[in-house]
Structure 1
Amino acid sequence: MSVLKLGLPAGSLQEATADLFRKAGYKITFPSRSYYPVIDDPELHCTLIRAQEMGRYVADGSLDCGLTGHDWIVESGSHVTELAELVFSKVSRRPVKWVLAVPNDSDIHGPKDLQGKRIATEVVNITKSWLAGHGVAAQVEFSWGATEVKPPKFADAIVEVTETGNSLRANNLRIVDTLLTSTTRFVANPQAALDPWKRQKMDDLLLMLRGAMAAEGKVGLMMNVRKADLAHVLNKLPALKNPTISPLADQEWVAVNTIIDEDTVRHIIPQLKAAGASGIVEYPLTKIID
């Protein structure tokens, strides 16, 4: 039996990734002290790998494909084939940013002020490339963690990842510039991407993952509407696309089916009722496949 070797990111993205897979229809569990998650698809073999290393193992063929951040692909310089962008993270759906941050009272206000300074970061290569682009020479040191506490005693500035900036502000740091914006990517080994069976398996997996992401925050609405009230009811619907309108046995009535944002339902249903809709049914969505 053919098997696709799939790398899942360990660490901060692990639970968010597992949750996405579950919504996509895959039952995935993480046995204690094991780096091999169990998934209910015999054609998938999963391995937990730190996102920082994912690109390297996908590039050398140890894994056929995997999920990791664009930032770690850039940092490692790995030669992989990017098949999809999957915008999700441990906190929100917004991309993460690698930013240059300094103490609030620092005299560093731009790239040129970093000349001769010391910078602590986990993304040494990204930082060095950014500095070179600005023609600035500075000392870049690898940080093993707790980077926010490094300045001003151990570094003049840091390059750190953030989604909201809350942690930086809590440590009395201000953002000077953004070096890189990153989202999660589904990447493949170039040779694996050319293999017909493996590529089809990857495409099928991505179809389900994208469908699960598209359904987040959406619900379906069904209702019956008199034809005489149809225009008024449709005017109240902020549809994902044009609503589906189907005839009913009673020729004076039609069925309307649509998809809307979940957080608007409580406002829209009373308006639909007042506009003439009846038999209104709200139902959850697990996937939206275009």
Structure 2
Amino acid sequence: MSNILKLGIPKGSLEDATKALFAQAGWSINTRSRNYFPSIDDPEINCSLVRSQEMGYYITNGVLDAGLTGQDWLVETNSEVAVVADLVYSKASDQKCRWVLVVKNNSEIKSVEDLEGKRIATELVNFTKQYLEHRNISAIVEFSWGATEAKVVEGLADAAVEITETGSTIKAHGLRIVCDLLETHTVFVANKTALQDSWKKQKIEQIALLLKSALMGREKVLLKMNVPNSRIDELVKQLPSLHAPTINQLYGDDWLAVETVVSKKEVRKIIPTLKAAGAEGILEFELRKMVL
């Protein structure tokens, strides 16, 4: 096999977020209008822009060696691919998304069972049909090419199965979420035959490692501070870290330099605690990557 990896980049809502993640991981991907083959600063990779809905098909059939898509579309298309890495990120945030059952605020539909005999619009047709069949619910499930929520608003469908991150857009349209049907996130997947090639397997694993490290880096920050020697034990008790904080003696002084990696979400609570424990010159640094 040739030492070129054929990589699928999701076109559409995930495109910009994926390019940003690759940039943080160390690769620059450049797309141009009406060009489905982005350039990348790695001679060992050829990129193709592919809709997430079709990614599993092209990887299963060997047109692509690997790519990024939503776990939901692998379920929808029943794709035979190998999941190399779970990558929780989306167009707006680094969190999982949900496929939800949506109706008008004044709809009589209060549960999935109330869909009996109703008309449902969705892009996730196969999954929705199977979901209802497993519950012995008979309903009409129609494929929606987009503007799915609008079909409910306009009365073209009784309900919709739609993807959301926060639910704010759904509420803004005067709609109500009845229940969650499926949780999904981005995954890095590969063709099973490509993984049998040692060079491609190593390249795919390299990409997976750096993408995961970039995402992990977004969750953490590096804290550095100076602490009096006399108060170090008190401070360490307040300081979370991966293993243990790094502590060095400052030259010619009775002070210590301390650094540690902590969760970004905890920083607003930790810094006042560290200050009260005697820390001074506290610095916070963003991390590009974090490899465990």
Show the counterpart of 1:130: 131
TM-score (norm: length of structure 2)? 0.92
> What amino acid does structure 2 have at the position aligned with 1:211?
S
Q: Which residue of 1 aligns with 2:206?
A: 204
Computed over aligned residues only, the root mean square deviation of the Cα atoms, in angstroms, reads 2.0
Which residue pairs with 2:120 in the alignment?
A: 119
Q: For 1:35-74, list aligned pairs within 5 A.
A: 35-74=36-75
Counterpart CA distance in 2 for 1:266 and 1:127 is 42
**Range with greater deviation from structure 2 (279-288 or 147-156):** 279-288
- 1:286 maps onto 2:284 in alignment: no
Q: Quick check: 275-284 or 18-27, which moved more? A: 275-284
CA distance 1:239–1:144, shift in 2 (3 Å): same
Offset, 1:89:
0.3
Q: State the alpha-carbon separation in 1 of the partners of residues 217 and 200 from structure 2.
A: 26
What's the counterpart of residue 9 of structure 1? Answer: 10
Deviates more, 1:247-256 or 1:91-100: 247-256
1:257 aligns to what?
A: 259
The answer as to 2:215 corresponding to 1:230 is: no
List per-residue Cα deviations over 1:209-236 (Å, max 9, x = no partner).
1111111143212233333211122234
1:142-161 alignment runs, 5 A limit: 142-151=143-152, 153-161=155-163
1:218 aligns with 2:238: no
TM-score by structure 1 length?
A: 0.92
Matched length: 290
* CA 154–271 in structure 1, closer or farther in 2 if over 3 Å, else same: closer
| Percent of residue pairs identical | 50
- Residues in 1 aligned to 2:198 and 2:274: alpha-carbon distance in whole angstroms: 49
Unpaired runs of 5+ in structure 2?
Answer: none
- SS of residue matched to 1:179: strand
Q: Choose which of 172, 194, 202 in structure 1 pairs with 2:174.
A: 172
Which 10-residue stretch deviates more, 270-279 or 198-207?
270-279
Shift of 1:84: 1.1
Q: CA deviation at 1:282?
A: 3.4
The reply to whether residue 183 of structure 1 matches residue 182 of structure 2 is no
SS in 1 for 2:227: strand
Shift in Å at residue 82 of structure 1? 0.7
Residues 99, 163 of structure 2: 8 Å contact kept: yes
1:147-173 alpha-carbon deviations (Å, 9 max, x no partner)? 111126211111111111112112221
